[in-house]
Amino acid sequence: MPSTIKPYVKPQIKNPAEDPLIAMQHERRTKELRNKATARLYSDVSGGVVKKSLTLQKLEGEIREMQASYKEFEEMTKLLQKDRDLLAKRNAEHVEWCETFDQHIGPFEAKYEECKEMVKASYDFAKLKYKASVQKLIDDFGYHPTFKRWFDEI
């Protein structure tokens, strides 16, 4: 026989117990059968008791979650109350400052308003005089403001 040709070797069959996929499928199947047997066992009265106990466990879990959220809510409320107290204190300080400001600055503000009235009266008088002087230029010298150029003397 030439050395390049190998003799026929009968293929070996896998042992199903050694294959992980097959072992997992067997385990899954046995678990399903066990679950079915358990379901049949708890079918009547005992099934009702088991269902009620599961419902009770679920409700107890929800109660624990609500208690935790209530504690968190209380902590947030305390923080917001502290912020509210701080803002009230700051507001009181600002109100006090504003009252003091009005007492000390009030007379100066009144004087400023009086000065503004005087300036407005002076400005109104100056506007009237300017209008009269431009009218005198128009009447006496033929000055026309619309056609005045930048380099005109008058």
Ordered alpha helix ranges (H), 4-141: 20-41, 45-141
- Residue 154 confidence class, pLDDT cut points 50, 70, 90: low
The 10s digit of each residue's pLDDT in 119-143 is 999 999 999 999 999 889 888 888 8
Distance separating alpha carbons of residues 86 and 82, to the nearest angstrom: 6
Those residues whose C-beta lies under 8 Å from the C-beta of residue 145, and which sit 6 or more positions away, are 134, 138
Those residues whose C-beta lies under 8 Å from the C-beta of residue 23, and which sit 6 or more positions away, are 16, 17
pLDDT for 45: 61
What does the longest C-alpha to C-alpha distance in the chain come to? 142
Angle at 81 (CA atoms; ends 78, 84), nearest 5 degrees = 155
Mean pLDDT of 13-32: 83
pLDDT for 24: 85
Q: Which residue has the tokens 């358990």?
A: 38
Assessment of whether the complete model's pTM goes beyond 0.85: no
The 10s digit of each residue's pLDDT in 28-85 is 999 988 888 777 766 666 767 878 888 999 999 999 999 999 999 999 999 999 999 9
Residue among 154, 118, 108, 109 at smallest CA distance from 133:
154
Domain boundaries, the chain: 18-115
pLDDT for 41: 66
pLDDT for 126: 95
How far, in whole angstroms, is CA 70 from its chain's centroid?
Answer: 22
